[in-house]
């Protein structure tokens, strides 16, 4: 068993990054995720593992530092919250285009604009549909616990390097701030430069005599060339959609109705299941863990078995579009959401199921 600790979600993702062998963190303070950089600075990994931790002048600079580090094959991460992630869209698009691995943690807060510092899930579209320009996707992992904040840091880096693509952990202010028991995995040594060069032949590390010079760019001015770049990306995304879908089903075996929810909303729905079942309503929960790739087939299968789905999100209805696309029109699918930093209570979610789906 790994080391047990009581930690905030923000601290857990930071500790896990050090343990995963992260080479560099570049960030800018923003509530509610500042503990990530605070934890890293306090832990001084630059004295132990050699991991670089740098406070940048902006989110724009952070994400472009990420791009620089990723282009040289290093295992790099940043973190921010919604308004900061908006500023990072430039770098995300560039990294997707240049096929670079990087981990971004979005501890979301309510928007639009400066919004609020309280938790929200209103950045689903931005994360899943591609908030930046161009045809790209990034893998989006949605943790529902502090434990998953730690686990997904490691998984995120693995997926980022496996597919050479940016990966986002789409968390929220509640998961980031709350404290829970975490079982930490054993530290993995950072790669040496020689190991990196062997493992990442695509990285710009300095041109030896025996290979061509490496160019990291998303630019191809020739339309045919740029189409080839796009086709390559799309092929990669199809592979990701085939192999990397992750989800969790709770109490779905006998369920007549299901909640579909990710992250914090899924945690709330777990409690709602208990309340509903005590009332004699057979309810289950489908939790997409990867928001991209979205568990389309699994939801389609589930839709054949249940009478209705309530998509619970701390937003005005975003993931519901993907749920409806996956499930089709054969059953009733409605959205229940609170926004602006309000966290829905388990009993109000049950009432919503009763009113909108069962009785509706």
Partner 1 sequence: MEEQFAKLDIRKNENIVYKRTDLLVDRPLSYCPGCGHGTVHRMLMETLEEMGLQDKTIGVSPVGCSVLAYDFMNIDMLGAAHGRAPALATAIKRMWPDRFVFTYQGDGDLAAIGTAETIHACNRGEHFTMIFINNGIYGMTGGQMAPTTLPNMRTSTSPYGRDTNIMGFPLKMTELVAQLPGTYYVTRQAVHTPSAVRKTKKAIRKAFENQKNKTGISFIEVVSNCNSGWKMTPVQSNKWMEENMFPFYPLGDIKIDGVLVTPKAETVKV
Residues that bind partner 1 (CB under 8 A): 23-24, 26, 52, 54, 56-58, 60-62, 64-69, 71-72, 74, 76, 90-91, 94, 98, 193, 204-209, 213-219
Least separation, in Å, of the C-beta of 178 and partner 1?
A: 31
For residue 341 the two structure tokens come to 């930093």
Nearer to partner 1 by C-beta: 94 or 259?
A: 94
Nearer to partner 1 by C-beta: 73 or 115?
A: 73
The helix/strand/coil state of 164 is: coil
Non-local (6+) Cβ contacts of 300 within 8 A are 326, 327, 328
Task: In whole angstroms, give the CA distance from residue 288 to residue 223.
Answer: 37
Task: In whole angstroms, give the CA distance from residue 104 to residue 84.
Answer: 11
Task: In whole angstroms, give the CA distance from residue 213 to residue 88.
Answer: 28
Least separation, in Å, of the C-beta of 88 and partner 1?
A: 11
Nearer to partner 1 by C-beta: 84 or 337?
A: 84
Least separation, in Å, of the C-beta of 123 and partner 1?
A: 21
Packing angle, helices 35-43 and 9-19, rounded to 10: 40
Least separation, in Å, of the C-beta of 221 and partner 1?
A: 8
The helix/strand/coil state of 171 is: strand
Nearer to partner 1 by C-beta: 129 or 207?
A: 207
Nearer to partner 1 by C-beta: 97 or 111?
A: 97
HSE, side-chain direction, 13 A CA sphere, residue 4: 3
Mapping DSSP onto H, E and C, the string for 280-306 reads CCCEEEEEECEEECCCHHHHHHHHHHC
Nearer to partner 1 by C-beta: 23 or 35?
A: 23
Distance spanning both ends of the chain, measured CA to CA: 48
Least separation, in Å, of the C-beta of 331 and partner 1?
A: 45
Task: In whole angstroms, give the CA distance from residue 20 to residue 156.
Answer: 10
Note whether 46 and 64 are within 8 A (CB).
no
Nearer to partner 1 by C-beta: 199 or 239?
A: 199
Least separation, in Å, of the C-beta of 347 and partner 1?
A: 48
Least separation, in Å, of the C-beta of 285 and partner 1?
A: 40
């Amino acid at each position: 068993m790994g080391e047990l600790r009581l930690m905030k979600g923000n601290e857990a993702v930071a500790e896990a990054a050090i343990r995963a062998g992260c080479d560099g963190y570049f960030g800018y303070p923003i509530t509610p995720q500042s503990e990530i950089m605070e934890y890293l600075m306090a832990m001084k990994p630059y004295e132990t593992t050699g991991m670089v931790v740098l406070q940048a002048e902006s989110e724009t600079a952070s994400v472009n530092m990420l791009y620089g580090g990723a282009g040289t094959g290093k295992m790099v991460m940043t973190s921010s919250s919604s308004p900061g992630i908006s500023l990072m869209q430039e770098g995300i698009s560039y990294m997707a285009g240049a096929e670079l691995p990087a981990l971004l943690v979005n501890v979301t807060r309510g928007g639009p604009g400066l919004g609020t510092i309280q938790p929200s899930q209103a950045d689903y579209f931005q994360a899943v549909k591609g908030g930046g320009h161009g045809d790209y996707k990034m893998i989006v992992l949605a943790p529902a616990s502090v434990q998953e904040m730690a686990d997904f840091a490691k998984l995120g880096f693995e997926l980022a390097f496996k597919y050479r693509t940016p990966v986002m952990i789409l968390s929220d202010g509640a998961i980031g701030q709350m404290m829970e028991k975490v079982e930490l995995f054993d530290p993995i040594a950072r790669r040496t430069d020689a190991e990196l060069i062997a493992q990442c032949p695509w990285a710009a590390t300095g041109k030896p005599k025996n290979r061509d010079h490496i160019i990291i760019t998303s630019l191809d001015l020739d339309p045919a060339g740029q189409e080839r770049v796009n086709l390559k990306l799309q092929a990669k995304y199809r592979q990701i959609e085939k192999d990397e879908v992750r989800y969790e089903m709770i109490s779905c075996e006998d369920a007549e109705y299901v909640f579909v929810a990710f992250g914090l909303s899924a945690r709330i729905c777990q409690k709602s299941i208990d309340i509903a079942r005590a009332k004699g309503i057979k309810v289950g929960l489908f939790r997409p863990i990867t928001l991209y790739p979205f568990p389309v087939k699994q939801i389609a299968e589930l839709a054949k078995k249940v009478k209705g789905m309530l998509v619970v999100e701390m937003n005005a209805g975003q993931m519901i579009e993907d749920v409806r696309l996956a499930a089709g029109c054969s059953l009733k699918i409605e959205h229940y959401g609170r926004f602006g930093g309000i966290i829905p209570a388990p009993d109000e979610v049950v009432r919503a199921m009763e009113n909108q789906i069962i009785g509706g």
